[in-house]
Amino acid sequence: MAKISGFSKLTKNEKISWIAENYLSDHPQAIEIIKQYWNADDKLQKLHDEFTENTISNYYLPLGVAPNFKIDGKFHVIPMAIEESSVIAAASKAAKFWEERGGFKTEVLSTTKVGHVHFSFSGNSQHLEDFFQNNKNKFFQDAKSLTKNMEKRGGGILDIELVDKSKSLENYYQLHCTFETKDAMGANFINSCLEQFGKTLESEAQNFEKFKVDGKFPEVIMCILSNYVPECLVRAEVSCPVTQLGDNEADSKKFVDKFIQAIEIAKLEPYRAVTHNKGIMNGVDAVVLATGNDFRAVEAGVHAYAARSGQYRSLTDVKVENGEFKFWIELPLALGTIGGLTSLHPLVKLSLAMLGKPSAKDLMRFVAVAGLAQNFAAVNSLVTTGIQKGHMKMHLMNILNQFEANADERSEAVEYFKTHTVSHSEVINLLEKIRS
């Protein structure tokens, strides 16, 4: 394997040539494949090149849509960027199912985001508390130039608290800071404010007499937002009479009993909970990606929220009360509809347009609904026909593509697997029979 200095300074073609020569020598078509995914529009390709560093090509994901979502009384089509074949079909099926039963209802519970100034201090903790109380307003004042525009939009710094963590880690303290960023994702805004707080902390501490006497001053370790946002919450739910969940009363009761048991298992068994929540994130991540938001941040925050009790649990819950079935989800979602890719990526802009140019709060609602729909579809399949029947039929086309099946072979395979179980080996056997 080769080493190189100054790789970032090479042109795109030079980068590709070096990679092909040193790491893809066994793939003679490597350069052709890489360039095959370039956009023919040079201006659009340049835009994509500048989204990241050392760009050599574009990596495509399908952008699909799930229609017929009735959310808070209005119909929506939800854009989803995902490669897993059954996800959009399952979401669409759940949307149709619940549209006939009143649709999805949502509520944004809070929109508070969090960041910290992490610092060390080995002096008297009461002196630190006195310093903080004397200078708390100074933190707000010094950040005024950063918060001016955000405050015009109704956002800004909500509060700053001094937190003593020294019992858990020697000399460790933090400024726990909360923010409202309205329709912006807010990461750059929050981090800029936090870095200013860090500067204020160290500079003002030099003038505090009690610190001077001890000769011990706060020392900033780092200033960074948190992707754990348990106070940036949205709730989505569906409900209907139990009798509407089956062909007759007995079927409805059996379905509901098994559905409740499935959710209870996901609440107490972490092995099941992880897969259960992964299915939720199939829907969540697909919408987050399609709308240009940070799915890695969402994933990290959501899974931390699922473990907030000390054990990793289901993100969804269910109950039956007075003959009414209710299924719901609460998710911590820090999203934005302005800034970043939302104003740059053409397909992101179209995805947001499809959703009616939503506010950040509205996008939280749509994302939560997608996660709830996906989970309902998955649990519904698990407690009735099993997950593989629908999933493998959707996966059939991927297997046929892998073996370059022509139109006639595809048609025959689709017909055959209407009455047979799809598996990789069975598809190969069928293709061999057709071709022989």
Exactly one of 12, 176, 278, 303 is catalytic; which is it? 278
Distance CA 296, CA 253 (A): 39
Tokens 């080995």: give the residue: 122
DSSP per-residue codes, 358-398: --HHHHHHHHHHHHHHHHHHHHHHHTTT-HHHHHHHHHHHH
Tokens 């870095």: give the residue: 195
Give the CA angle between residues 147, 151, 157 to the nearest 5°: 60
Does residue 420 carry a catalytic annotation? no
Exactly one of 204, 294, 330, 362 is catalytic; which is it? 294
Bridge pairing between strands 316-321 and 63-71: unpaired
User: CB of 177 within 8 A of CB of 114?
Assistant: yes
Exactly one of 72, 84, 99, 317 is catalytic; which is it? 84
Q: Which is nearest to 385 in space by CA: 275, 255, 248?
A: 255
Does residue 294 carry a catalytic annotation? yes
| 345, two tokens | 């990526």
Does residue 345 carry a catalytic annotation? no
User: CB of 192 within 8 A of CB of 347?
Assistant: no
Strand partners, 192: none
Looking at the chain, the number of H-run helices and the number of E-run strands are 16, 10
| 110, two tokens | 């809070």
Does residue 391 carry a catalytic annotation? yes
405's CB contacts (< 8 A; 6+ apart) are 413, 431
Give the CA angle between residues 209, 213, 216 to the nearest 5°: 95
Distance CA 93, CA 412 (A): 26
| 33, two tokens | 């494949």
CA of 243: how far to CAs of 156, 246, 316, 325, in Å?
48, 6, 22, 9
Exactly one of 48, 182, 345, 391 is catalytic; which is it? 391
Distance CA 417, CA 10 (A): 51
Distance CA 289, CA 255 (A): 33
| 23, two tokens | 């790491």
- In the chain the first and final C-alpha atoms are separated, in Å, by 44
User: CB of 375 within 8 A of CB of 316?
Assistant: yes
11's CB contacts (< 8 A; 6+ apart) are none
3-state SS assignment for residue 251: helix
3-state SS assignment for residue 316: strand
Residues classed as catalytic: 84, 278, 294, 391
